[in-house]
Structure 1
Amino acid sequence: MDEEPTESLWVRIKGMAGTGDISVGVCYRPPSQEDQVDEALDRQIGAASCSQALVLLGDFNHPNICWRANTAGHKQSGRFLECTDDNFLLQVIEEPTRRGAMLDLVLTNKEGLVGNVKLKGSLGCNGHEMVEFKILRATRRAHSKLTTLAFRRADFGLFTDLLGRMPWDKALEGRGAQES
């Protein structure tokens, strides 16, 4: 990509006949990473999240994100949290991975794709917990009729315009008549 370099590696694991491919990204985000590099990483994550199946893991250095409450205590962390939300990524690690902080993450765009997540102690003396998990695959790709909406491509101007044209006073009058 013709943009800021990120510390990331992206691979596509080809599935056997009848099974889909899996894209896997491994990232390291330094704690003092500049905004332009964060934005480049967000764009890479956005492009990769269009994959049928994605597993993204690494040390993202966002210790002030509360994944349970979906909140962030810092501007850069808030942008990363927004990126994961915009790309419908689920964070699957539930325990702190380094000195009580959740720095190391495993994210996926498919519920049930990643399972059996365990922290296995540190490898060597780096202080990070080793994360072990399985990528769960069905033997055949299921063809789902469920559609995922692409909100990034929505025409919110048209939506607002259509809402503005609705005769709200008449709709509300009819509702009041039904309730009485």
Structure 2
Amino acid sequence: MGEEPTESLWVRIKGRAGTGDTIVGVCYRPPDQEDQVDEAQYRQKGEVSPSQALLLTGDFNHPAICWRDNTARHKQSRRFLECIDDNFLLQAIQELMRRGAMLGLVLTNKEGLVGNVKLKGSLGCSDHEMVEFKILKAARRAHSKLIPLDLSRADFGLFRDLLGRVPWDKAPA
């Protein structure tokens, strides 16, 4: 892609007539990965059209993320959460994996695309958990008269800044 090399593999699964393609990405992020390589991975995720089904899985090595609160203590982990939010990705794994952390993730931009997510123990002498899941067949697209919003030019940085200015402790309950 003409950028920093990233440890990732991307596959397009062609859909049948009336269903869209599904993009599947498998990524590995070493714990000591530099910021510019992180940014290259985020750009890769952003290149997938929001109208395409995306399934992203792998070991992202962000153990300091609290998935319940969607918060992180480290700058790189906070930036990773921003990328997930900016691309409207949902986390499909609900169980902690290794030493109380959730390092392996299954992320998708379409609710109901992934099902039957299970942790299956480690493979050989690895301390990583295997994750098993099913990619569910996309339903035939229903014709709708609703026009989806085009968020490709949205300024999420400005939106985040404006939300940061809201005095949440004084907001009405």
Bin the TM-score by the shorter chain: 0.7 to 0.9
Decide whether the 8 Å contact of 1:118 with 1:133 is kept in 2. Answer: yes
The aligned runs of 1:17-32 (5 Å cut-off) are 17-32=17-32
Q: Is 2:130 the partner of 1:134? A: no
Decide whether the 8 Å contact of 2:13 with 2:22 is kept in 1. Answer: yes
The aligned runs of 1:154-165 (5 Å cut-off) are 154=154
The count of residues paired between Structure 1 and Structure 2 equals 156
Q: Is 2:125 the partner of 1:125? A: yes
Q: Is 2:97 the partner of 1:93? A: no
Task: State the SS of the aligned residue for 2:47.
Answer: helix
Query: Highest CA radius of gyration, 1 or 2?
Result: 1
Task: State the SS of the aligned residue for 1:153.
Answer: coil
Q: Is 2:62 the partner of 1:62? A: yes
Deviation at 1:114, TM superposition (A): 0.8
Gaps of 5+ in 2: 160-173
Runs of 4+ in 1 over 4 A off after TM superposition: none
Q: Which moved more, 1:121-130 or 1:23-32?
A: 121-130
Amino acid at match of 2:97: T
Q: Give 1 or 2: higher helix fraction.
A: 1
Q: TM-score, normalised by structure 1?
A: 0.80
Query: Could you report, residue by residue, the CA deviation over 1:121-164 in whole angstroms, capped at 9, with x for unpaired residues?
Result: 111111111111111124523344362451x51369xx9xxxxx
| Cα separation, partners in 2 of 1:146 and 1:51, compared to 1, 3 Å | closer
Amino acid at match of 2:148: T
Separation in structure 1 between the aligned mates of residue 119 and residue 76 of structure 2, nearest angstrom = 26
Partner of 1:164: none
Task: State the SS of the aligned residue for 1:133.
Answer: strand
Separation in structure 2 between the aligned mates of residue 18 and residue 125 of structure 1, nearest angstrom = 44
Separation in structure 2 between the aligned mates of residue 16 and residue 68 of structure 1, nearest angstrom = 36
Query: Could you report, residue by residue, the CA deviation over 1:93-146 in whole angstroms, capped at 9, with x for unpaired residues?
Result: 111122221000000001111111111111111111111111112452334436
Separation in structure 1 between the aligned mates of residue 49 and residue 75 of structure 2, nearest angstrom = 22
Gaps of 5+ in 1: 160-180
Query: Could you report, residue by residue, the CA deviation over 1:19-42 in whole angstroms, capped at 9, with x for unpaired residues?
Result: 211000000000000000001001
Separation in structure 1 between the aligned mates of residue 132 and residue 29 of structure 2, nearest angstrom = 20
Amino acid at match of 2:92: V
Partner of 1:35: 35
Percentage of matched positions with identical amino acids: 78
Amino acid at match of 1:147: P
Partner of 2:53: 53
Partner of 2:15: 15
Amino acid at match of 1:94: Q
Give the aligned CA root-mean-square deviation in angstroms: 1.9
